[in-house]
Amino acid sequence: MTSHGLTRFSINQMTVKKLSLPELAEACARVGVGQVGLWREPVQEYGVESAAKLMRDAGLAVTTLCRGGFLTDIDAHARVAAVDDNKRAVDEAAVLGTDTLVLVSGGLPAGSRDLTGARERIADALAELGPYAADRGVRLAIEPLHPMYAADRCVVSTLKQANDLAERFPADQVGVCVDTYHVWWDDTAPAELARAGAHGRLHAFQLADWVTPLPEGVLTGRGQLGDGSVDLAAWCGLARDAGHTGPIEVELFNAGLWARDGGEVLAETAERYLRHTT
Amino acid sequence: MTSHGLTRFSINQMTVKKLSLPELAEACARVGVGQVGLWREPVQEYGVESAAKLMRDAGLAVTTLCRGGFLTDIDAHARVAAVDDNKRAVDEAAVLGTDTLVLVSGGLPAGSRDLTGARERIADALAELGPYAADRGVRLAIEPLHPMYAADRCVVSTLKQANDLAERFPADQVGVCVDTYHVWWDDTAPAELARAGAHGRLHAFQLADWVTPLPEGVLTGRGQLGDGSVDLAAWCGLARDAGHTGPIEVELFNAGLWARDGGEVLAETAERYLRHTT
């Protein structure tokens, strides 16, 4: 049973990554969480069909599958392999019953300094993946990542870039995923959030806080809600104003949280969500 | 004597921070470098007048003084102290004979999540500092810092924000400092570079490369020219197209470079500059 106030809350599996899928389902039942965002690797390990059944039996809705993408390769073989892998990700999303596959677009290929070219290759791949996904009831959600990942993970660094890219395709094929961690610093992001909403492309909305100092490699330092610099209530208000009525997912890559008991972290995250988003 | 090809090159003192000011002057003479960017702390330690004389005697031009700024405090006493300190920085710049004081604007005050308010307080301070600086022949150069510093060092994260802020004041009072390390990822930065040039506000232009993985705290991982993802020649071309004919300063916060012999690093940096900027 979903707790009052947590109706729109979704826990991204990465926040409590030590939990197995059955443990995640149990913890969600205990805390009163009715929605989860899943990741491909643990789902594949458990078995995609089995994971889908587990979620269905637990009454858990899958809000997103993370993640496809990495579409910036230059080499033709690597590009074909990447598109094939993204099609498998779409298939997995369809089996899991989620309508949203989050894309992390990919960084600069080794030795390349051509951001513009890399961004254009993403568009090329989306032209093939978009129809494939829509045919299976899955929308691709381009997630702009913080500019500190531009070289090695994602050349789409702003919500404006993500919107520009998405709008080259129909909205039921390609939209955006907005995570406060990546866009909180950007004074153009509020207008771009409204733009995404107005065009029916705000396919996923995620929360994480920004805390410093950043850890080496800057991957595992996302802050628990309320611990950092992001005005989460304001961002939730902007998403609401943009017409977003869907899930609000919390995805925290955080070495400190990962070291703790997953059930405890889930309960804490739900409590922080209630405290800081309204 | 300045070497052929290094006429516009300036070495920022931070790149070779182990060198004392006399050692820096000697190393510049050996390598054929005629311009330096200095930092307040080592200059104060050596004595501002003495440093100015040392540079003059060595025939070294001081291209910038780093740095003023940190103007985002809310507390009235802290704000007055910050403005006073920035006036001293202007005075030091004037003594050193440089026309440019670089500003790192400051991050969010402890407990604050109000980026807009912080940016507005910078403008308030500039209204007082701008005329003070111009009266002494010094221009303030707002340096947008990479968005990964938005919380703890600088709420001015894009060149557009820096231009917007600068244009509220006369160009002989306030302009911008563009460092490739901070703006390389931003597809709106080339147009903003042109805008700064067109308005006579491109007061400083600095180079550093972007390398990954980022170190803990993300302060000391700036790449040696040519080691990373930044198309330095393209950025120099953009600066040239923007009308920039002044110094091109290389400022590398890099723990690996700091561990090496400063003279050797200076020679390497000059060589990399020649190789990667044309």
**What ipTM is given for this predicted complex?**
0.96
The pLDDT, as a whole number, for residue A143 is 98
Distance from CA of B148 to the nearest CA of A (A): 6
Q: Which residue of B has its CA nearest to A220?
A: B216
Which residues are within 8 A (CB) of A82 and not within 5 positions of it... i.e. 6 or more apart?
A70, A71, A73, A106, A125
Query: Are B115 and A185 a contacting pair at CB < 8 A?
Result: yes
- The yes-or-no verdict on residue B268 having pLDDT over 60 is yes
**Chain B neighbors of A161, CB-CB under 8 A:** 187
Which H/E stretch holds residue B78?
helix B76-96
Q: Nearest CA to CA, how far is B91 from chain A (Å)?
A: 33
Q: Which of A181, A153, A146, A222 lies closest to B229 in space, CA to CA?
A: A153
A57: contact with B, CB 8 A cutoff:
no
Distance CA B46, CA B30 (A): 22
B182 contacts in chain A (CB < 8 Å): none
Residue A58 has a pLDDT of 98
A187 touches chain B (CB under 8 A): yes
pLDDT over 90 at B63, yes or no = yes
Distance from CA of B254 to the nearest CA of A (A): 14
Q: Which pLDDT band holds residue B278 (cuts at 50, 70, 90)? A: confident
Does residue A1 register a pLDDT over 60? Answer: no
Q: Which ranges of B97-227 does DSSP label H, i.e. alpha helix? A: 115-135, 159-166, 180-183, 189-198
What pLDDT is attached to residue A278? 78
Q: Do A185 and B146 touch (CB under 8 A)?
A: no
A210 vs B: CB within 8 A: yes
Contact between chains at A210 and B151 (C-beta distance less than 8 A): yes
d(CA B221, nearest CA chain A) in Å: 10
CB atoms within 10 A of CB A208: 27
pLDDT band at residue B1, thresholds of 50, 70 and 90?
A: low
Mean pLDDT along residues B90-106: 98
User: Choosing among B72, B105, B113, B180, which should be mutated to test the A contact, i.e. which has the most A CBs within 10 A?
Assistant: B113
pLDDT in tens, A223-256: 999 999 999 999 999 999 999 999 999 999 999 9
The H-or-E segment that residue A32 falls in is: none
Q: CB-based burial of residue B251 (10 Å sphere; 0-12 exposed, 13-18 middle, 19+ buried)?
A: buried
Partners of residue A112 in chain B, C-beta under 8 Å: 229
Structural domains for chain B: 9-276 (3.20.20.150)
The pLDDT tens digits for A52-63 are: 999 999 999 999
Residue range B202-249, pLDDT digits in tens: 999 999 999 999 999 999 999 999 999 999 999 999 999 999 999 999
Band (B4; pLDDT cuts 50, 70, 90): confident
Q: What is the mean pLDDT of chain A?
A: 97
- Facing B147 at nearest CB: one of A146, A230, A231: A146
Give the span between the Cα atoms of B75 and A42, in whole angstroms. Answer: 49
Interface test with B, best of A145, A163, A185 (most B CBs within 10 A): A185
Place of tokens 């403005």: B83
Q: List residues bridging with B102 in a β-sheet.
A: B66, B141
The answer to whether B214 contacts A210, with C-beta atoms less than 8 Å apart, is no
Nearest-Å Rg of the Cα atoms of chain B is 17
The beta-carbon neighbor of B148 closest among A148, A187, A215 is A148
* Residue A111 near chain B (CB below 8 Å): no
CA distance A30 to chain B (A): 33
Check whether B270 has a pLDDT greater than 90: yes
DSSP A79-140: HHHHHHHHHHHHHHHHHHT-SEEEEE-B-PPTT---HHHHHHHHHHHHHHHHHHHHHTT-EE
Residue B109 token pair: 């005050």
Share of chain B above pLDDT 70, in %: 99
How much is the pLDDT for A2? 66
Choose among B115, B151, B231: nearest Cβ to A212.
B151
**Does A50 lie at the interface with B, CB-CB under 8 angstroms?**
no
Indicate which of A229, A232, A236 best probes the interface with B, i.e. most B CBs within 10 Å of its own CB.
A229
pLDDT tier at B275 (50, 70, 90 boundaries)?
A: very high
pLDDT per residue as tens digits for the range A113-123: 999 999 999 99
Matching residue, tokens 């899955």? A138
B115 and A CB contact within 8 Å: yes
Q: How far is A230 from chain B (nearest CA, A)?
A: 6
Whether residue A4 is predicted with pLDDT greater than 90 in this model: the reply is no
Choose, out of B72, B187, B220, the residue to mutate when testing the contact with A (most A CBs < 10 Å). B187
**DSSP single-letter state for residue B149:** G
pLDDT at B107: 98
